[in-house]
Amino acid sequence: MKLTRTVTALACIFAAVPAFAQEGPLQIYSAYPDEHMKALVDGFAEQYPDVEVQISVQPGEQLISTVELELRAGRPQADVIGLNQASIASLQAAHSAFSAYEPAGLEGVRTEVLDESGTSVPACVNLYLIQYNTNAISEADAPTDWAGLLDPRWKDQLALADPASSQSVHSFLWFITEHLADEGDDYGWGYFERLAENAPRLERSHGTIRDMTASGERPIAVQLLANGQTSANRGDPTSLVWPSEGSPGEISSFAMFEQSDNQEAAQAWLDYVVSPEAQAIMPDALGCAPVRNDVDYTFPDGTAVSDVTIVPVDADFIANEREAQVEAFDQAFGR
C-alpha cells in the first residue's frame, strides 16, 4: 500500500563505504516530518553514498494503520520504520514484524532509553512542553505548569494533538491521567474534561500545531520539543515553557522490518542513527535531545538538560492501552 505522501526530494543515490548489494532503494516509513528527516538523510549519504534512500511520511496513527494493513497482507513495503518506541512495541507485540538488532556504537547510548527487547533503536528523546506565541502572550502571562492551561483565559486560544490521529500525544495522555493521577483534582481524566471547556483545537499533527502557534492563530499549545526546536531554528516568534510538574519523555526510534529485502542497508541506517555524527545533528534533524552520553545539548531556549524534569513514559502502558485512552479522551471531550 503506497503512503499518501512520499518525500521524493529526499531520495538520494550514493556509492558506499562500505559497499554492499542493495535490492532496490532503502525504503523508510516515517512519522517524522520530511523537514526533520532531511538532515539525517544527508548525513547518512556522506557515510553510505551507495545507498539509495526513499522516505515516505505519514502522521503516526495513519502510519500505524498502513503498516498493520500491509502486515496482515503478509508483505510490508518498507525496510525501516521511524515511530516512537511505544508504537513500535505495540506493532511488534501484535505482528512480530521487526528484527532485533544491536547497532555498532550502542554502548555509548544512555541505558535508560534502550529497548530491552532490542527491537527498536533509540534516536532521540522528544519531550512535551508548552509553546506560546511571544507576540500574543508575554513571558509573565505564560502558564508555568500543565494545570495552568485549564485557566479560562485560554479559551479558544489553545491547540492540542488529537490522539485519534497522533501517536505521540499518547505520552501526554499517560502523563496527565496516570503519572499525575494522584496529584489532585487538576489531573487524571478530569484534566481533559476541564481542558475541553477551553475548546482547544484538535489537530492531526504537531507540525500543524507549531505553524498555528507561530502565526498566532492558536497562540498556545501542548507541543513536542522537536517542533519547538524547528520554530527556534526558523526564528518563529515563539518560546517554550518547561512545566513544573515535569515533561514526559517519548523515545523517537527506528526499527528494521524482519521481511526487509535490504537488511544490510537497513542495519547501516540503524548504525548511523546512534553514531556520534548523527546524534550531534539530532536537534536539527528530528529536533529532539540526543541519546548519547558524549553529545552535549542545550534546549532551544537556552535551558540546560539538568534544569528540566524528564519523566520517562511507560511505553508498555501506552502500547497496551492506546484504544482505551482514545475512548476515554473522546468521552472527556464529549464526542
22 neighbors 75 (Cβ within 8 angstroms):
no
Residue 22's nearest CA partner among 64, 63, 50, 60 is: 50
283 neighbors 40 (Cβ within 8 angstroms):
no
pLDDT at residue 288, rounded to an integer:
82
Percent helix, strand and coil across the chain, each to the nearest 5: 40, 20, 40
d(CA 152, CA 141): 13
pLDDT at residue 250, rounded to an integer:
83
Count of CB atoms within 10 A of residue 300's CB? 17
What does CATH list as the number for 6-125+250-301?
Answer: 3.40.190.10
* Maximum mean pLDDT: which of 6-10, 42-46, 291-295, 317-321: 42-46
pLDDT at residue 305, rounded to an integer:
65
pLDDT at residue 90, rounded to an integer:
87
d(CA 333, CA 25): 43
Domains 6-125+250-301 and 126-248+308-332 fall in the same CATH topology: yes
Residues 6+ apart with CB under 8 A from 185: none
pLDDT at residue 1, rounded to an integer:
32
The pTM assigned to this predicted structure is: 0.71
Greater model confidence, 315 or 281: 281
d(CA 84, CA 168): 7
| C-alpha cell recorded at residue 21 | 548489494
Residues 254-299: tens digit of each pLDDT: 999 999 989 999 999 999 999 999 999 888 788 788 888 788 777 7
Share of the chain above pLDDT 90, in %: 62
pLDDT at residue 23, rounded to an integer:
65
What would the mean pLDDT of 100-118 be, rounded to a whole number?
90
pLDDT at 12 over 60: no
User: Which of 9-18, 55-64, 292-301, 314-323 comes out lowest in average pLDDT?
Assistant: 9-18
What is the domain partition of the chain in residue ranges?
Answer: 6-125+250-301, 126-248+308-332
Residues 220-244: tens digit of each pLDDT: 999 998 888 889 889 999 999 999 9
What would the mean pLDDT of 81-85 be, rounded to a whole number?
93
Banded pLDDT at 9 (limits 50, 70, 90): very low
Banded pLDDT at 22 (limits 50, 70, 90): low
Banded pLDDT at 7 (limits 50, 70, 90): very low
What does CATH list as the number for 126-248+308-332?
Answer: 3.40.190.10
Residues 6+ apart with CB under 8 A from 244: 144, 145
What would the mean pLDDT of 7-27 be, rounded to a whole number?
51
pLDDT at 211 over 90: yes
